[in-house]
Each structure stands twice: as C-alpha cells, then as structure tokens.
C-alpha cells in the first residue's frame, strides 16, 4: 500500500488547518512508530510510554551539568571538574566536633608561634543554646541564639572565616550544657 494520500481541493476530504494572517497552515498530528505502524504522540508532562518521544540533551547543555552536580552531591562523589582559579580544600585539616560543656570548648588547640585559619565550620545544636566563637579571650562573634536542631554553617569559599592570633586556640563558648556536633576545616601556620 502506498504511503502517500492524494488530495484534490473540493473533493470531499477535509484537511485541518489554522488560519494565520489570512493564510491557512496545515495542522499535523504527530505519531511515532516503525514503518507500517503509528502510535499517536502523548502530550503530557511525565508521561512514559511508546508514544512519548525521548530527548537526549547535549553534554554541553547547562542542564546536564546541573544534573551531574546534583547527582554527585546525592551520591557523595567528587565532581570531575573544578572551576579554574578557585581555591580548593587541599591541605586543610579536617576534624569532627562533639562537645556539650557550658562555657569554653576548644575546637582547635593553640600551637606556639602559629595562627589558626578557619575555612569551614558546621555546628548543629541539640537544644536551645547561645553560641559565641572566640580566640583566647577575644570575641570573634556575638552570642548567636540557636533553637533545638539549629545550626551554624560557614562554608568554604577560599578565604578564612576567622584567623586567631599567634598561640591562641579557636573556641566555642556555650551559655548552656547542650550537645553540639559538627566539623571544622582549618590550617595552622
């Protein structure tokens, strides 16, 4: 059987059209399938069937890059690319934190003739508490009032959040005995 249909204007076959600026444009219904078969295309978000045309995004599409980043975060892997000119966390000391004492809690101990540069800090509290970050007796922050489950997140961006003086510890002062957990990334020098 021939694949083409003959049409002669005025002979009884009606063709769908859309009139735009006094010109008729033929309306076409899309169908998918191998030669000799056709399934009408489905036009619904999230539809999965033989009637849905699959699309492959180009690897240089920003959406693909965003999806790769999300996938890497969810699977806890390191992305295969880095932004040029951006500092990295290579060479930083990583330490887990867990403390619950009211008053001063040493997060990084002092070392003679060295300063501490704090590049990343995450603290999560398990009760209502006021937290103040200090070095020796110098306040680096005011008291930050946190509710149960609250957190302080200072993420890495290449510049240190805090720098202690030489031979000074980095301290978290709590105004109540509450469990605090987290981690810190720093360098001494």
pLDDT for res 66: 60
Q: What is the CATH number of domain 93-188?
A: 2.60.120.340
Q: How far apart are CA 157 and CA 163, in angstroms?
A: 15
Q: Quick one: residue 59, left, alpha or beta (phi over 0 = left, psi -120 to 50 = alpha)?
A: alpha
Identify the three-state secondary structure at position 169. Answer: coil
| pLDDT tens column, 52-67 | 766 666 666 665 556 5
Mean pLDDT value across residues 130-156:
91
Each domain of the chain, given as residue ranges in start order, spans 14-55, 93-188
pLDDT for res 40: 77
pLDDT for res 78: 47
Q: How far apart are CA 83 and CA 51, in angstroms?
A: 41
pLDDT for res 86: 56
Strand partners, 2: none
Residue of 20 and 40 predicted with greater confidence: 20
pTM: 0.55
Identify the three-state secondary structure at position 71. Answer: helix
Average pLDDT of every residue of the chain:
80
Q: How far apart are CA 125 and CA 145, in angstroms?
A: 10
């Amino acid at each position: 059987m021939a694949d083409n249909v003959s049409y002669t204007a005025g002979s009884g076959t009606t063709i769908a059209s859309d009139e735009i600026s006094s010109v008729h444009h033929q309306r076409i219904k899309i169908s998918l399938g191998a030669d000799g078969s056709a399934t009408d295309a489905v036009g619904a978000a999230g539809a999965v069937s033989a009637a849905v045309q699959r699309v492959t995004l180009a690897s240089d599409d920003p959406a693909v890059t965003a999806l790769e980043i999300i996938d890497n975060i969810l699977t806890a892997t390191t992305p295969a690319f880095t932004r040029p000119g951006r500092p990295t966390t290579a060479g930083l000391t990583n330490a887990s934190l867990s403390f619950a004492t009211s008053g001063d809690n040493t997060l990084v101990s002092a070392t003679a003739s060295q300063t501490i540069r704090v590049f990343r800090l995450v603290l999560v509290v398990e009760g209502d508490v006021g937290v103040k970050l200090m070095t020796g007796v110098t306040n680096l922050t005011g008291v930050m009032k946190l509710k149960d489950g609250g957190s302080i997140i200072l993420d890495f961006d290449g510049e240190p959040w805090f720098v202690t003086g030489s031979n000074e510890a980095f301290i978290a002062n709590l105004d109540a005995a509450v469990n605090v957990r987290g981690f810190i990334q720093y360098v001494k020098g």
